[in-house]
Amino acid sequence: MSSNILQKDWYEILGSDPSDSPLELRQNYQRLILLYHPDKQSADVPAGELEERAQRFIEVDQAWKILGNEETKREYDLQRREVALIQKWPVDAQVPLEDMNWIEADRSYTYSCRCGGEYVLPVEEAEENLFLVCCNTCSLSIEILNRS
Ligand SMILES: [Zn+2]
């Protein structure tokens, strides 16, 4: 997985919405790939416009490589969700996972927030590659580092 997967909004490129079904995504892809395909352009399209469509064709193809595959789509959605969280919840600190307290009874990692509240990271979320945890009291969050 390339690290620059988030450089573009692949849903927007496919004229789609994150809530669209795989079938809707596929239909949008097929419509756009035909619309922008270099071999399908009529002779009276100006050169500049042709270039732009060729560029769109490449982007639509890239978008489909990510969104048309269950695995990469899941990863992309997860990363989008993290970015959305970062925008919504200011990151207060970066905390190595090993600095958090393991609470066996709750199967969770916890860390004290400076507001007196707590950051709680259930073990399933730690395994699911979620690295942003929101305080259960205030609007701060922490970023978890060095997870294996
Ligand atoms: Zn707090």
Give me the domain span that covers residue 109: 89-145
**One domain, residues 29 and 73:** yes
Residue 31 Cα to ligand 1 middle (Å): 47
Which band of pLDDT confidence, cut at 50, 70 and 90, is reported for residue 2? very low
Q: What is the pTM of this model?
A: 0.60
CA 16 – CA 19 distance, rounded (Å): 8
Model pLDDT for residues 26-64, shown as the tens digit of each residue: 999 999 999 999 999 998 989 999 999 999 999 999 999
DSSP class of residue 131 equals -
Provide the CA 132 distance to its chain's centre, in angstroms. 13
Is residue 21 very low, low, confident or very high in pLDDT (cuts 50, 70, 90)?
very high
Distance 113 CA to ligand 1 centre (A): 5
Are both 56 and 93 inside the same structural domain?
no
- Domains contained in the chain, number: 2
**102 and 39 within one domain:** no
Answer with the one of 54, 80, 106 that is the final residue of a domain. 80
Q: Are residues 23 and 72 in the same domain?
A: yes
121 Cα: distance to centroid of ligand 1 (angstroms): 14
Q: What is the pLDDT of residue 1?
A: 42
Please tell me whether residues 94 and 70 are part of one structural domain.
Answer: no
List alpha helices for 5-147, DSSP H.
Answer: 10-13, 22-36, 47-67, 70-88, 123-127
- Residues 71 and 117 reside in one and the same domain: no
What is the CATH number for 106?
3.10.660.10
CATH at 61: 1.10.287.110
Query: Which residues are CB-contacts of 56 (< 8 A; sequence separation ≥ 6)?
Result: 13, 32, 36
